[in-house]
């Protein structure tokens, strides 16, 4: 039984979404996409809309991939909407990843402007993937207004710090009905594996692969880790225990202790 992700009207096998920024060159990027067996690839419109440029990045993306244009560079909803419309007009399809970033230091998303852009673009027929700071109330609004998925950050873009927002992301996984895709901050394959074990539907990775010493090998490693995590999530994992044998349950350190148990 194949385990496909149904999203935006497509059925997707590879749950590792990959970005295209920061590679040493387009040829290397292409090799990495192939090594990842990527089905979904994000591209910033400014890198596509190249006009006279000799080289178009889209020529290096394998034809089997679905391109998701991102609105990188947008500082508010209006700019994001404009980028989305330009992308569609340029023939780049209607899958849009909304990135509205007003903070130049941490590149954190602006949830409120992201919501506005999502509302508008969904109505215009786009398949919208909003990148957001994990927050249940905003994720619910994004899902309610028709986002195809919700993409909370694990840690700030490009930091490779892993899933530092786990507490909040796990709540999204439990409460939001559209797919949850952790985007940003994953630095190691084990980070991606953990996200999938938690129940994310997919993860997105760019910097960690692109700036590593061997992007092609690391792309393959991330892809294997995502498969491992998804398979583990589906098969079920064992529970954790405190003792090796549960013959005499411990008094956990956070529980009430009586006088006899208080140590010297």
Positions annotated as catalytic residues are 97
Count the site residues for its own copies by CB under 8 A.
96
Does 179 participate in binding its own copies (rule CB under 8 A)? yes
* Residue 120 annotated in ligand binding: no
Q: For its own copies, which is the closer residue by CB, 125 or 263?
A: 263
Q: Does 28 bind its own copies (CB under 8 A)?
A: no
We find the least distance from the C-beta atom of residue 95 to its own copies, in angstroms, to be 17
207 labeled part of a ligand binding site: yes
Least Cβ distance, residue 180 to its own copies (angstroms): 8
The residues in 200-219 that bind its own copies, with binding defined as CB under 8 A, are 201, 207-208, 211-214, 217-218
Write down the least CB distance from residue 207 to its own copies, Å.
7
Q: Considering the complex, state which of residue 54 and residue 250 has its C-beta at the smaller distance from its own copies.
A: 250
55 sits near its own copies (criterion: CB under 8 A)? no
Among 52, 54, 89, 250, binds its own copies (CB under 8 A): 250
Long-range pairs, 81-87, Cβ under 8 A, ≥24: 81/117, 81/120, 81/121, 83/45, 84/117, 84/121, 84/124, 84/126, 85/124, 86/45, 86/49, 87/45, 87/48, 87/49
If binding is defined by CB under 8 A, does position 72 make contact with its own copies? no
The reply, when asked if residue 214 is annotated as ligand binding, is no
Binding of its own copies at residue 91 (CB under 8 A)?
no
Q: Is 82 in the site for its own copies (CB under 8 A)?
A: no
Q: To the nearest whole angstrom, how small is the minimum distance from the Cβ of residue 91 to its own copies?
A: 29
| Residues of the binding site for 1-deoxy-D-xylulose 5-phosphate | 158, 184-185, 206-207
């Amino acid at each position: 039984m194949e385990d496909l992700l149904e999203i935006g009207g497509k059925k997707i096998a590879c749950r590792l979404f990959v970005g295209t920024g920061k590679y040493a060159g387009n040829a290397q990027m292409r090799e990495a996409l192939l090594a990842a067996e990527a089905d979904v690839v994000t591209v910033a419109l400014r890198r596509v809309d190249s006009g006279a440029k000799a080289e178009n990045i889209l020529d290096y993306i394998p034809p089997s991939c679905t391109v998701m244009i991102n609105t990188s560079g947008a500082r508010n909803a209006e700019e994001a909407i404009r980028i989305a419309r330009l992308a569609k007009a340029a023939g780049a399809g209607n899958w849009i990843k909304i990135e509205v970033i007003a903070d130049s230091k941490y590149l954190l998303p602006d949830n409120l402007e992201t919501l506005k852009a999502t509302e508008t673009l969904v109505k215009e027929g786009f398949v919208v993937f909003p990148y957001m700071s994990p927050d249940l109330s905003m994720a619910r609004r994004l899902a309610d207004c028709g986002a195809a998925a919700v993409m909370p950050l694990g840690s700030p873009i490009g930091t490779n710090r892993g899933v530092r927002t786990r507490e909040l992301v796990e709540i999204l996984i439990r409460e939001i009905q559209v797919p949850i895709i952790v985007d940003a901050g994953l630095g190691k394959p084990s980070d991606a594996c953990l996200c999938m074990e938690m129940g994310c539907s997919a993860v997105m990775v760019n910097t960690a692969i692109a700036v590593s010493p061997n992007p092609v090998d690391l792309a393959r490693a991330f892809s294997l880790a995502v498969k491992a995590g998804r398979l583990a999530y589906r098969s079920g994992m064992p529970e954790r225990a405190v003792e090796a044998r549960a013959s005499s349950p411990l008094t956990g350190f956070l529980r009430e202790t009586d006088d006899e148990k208080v140590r010297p």
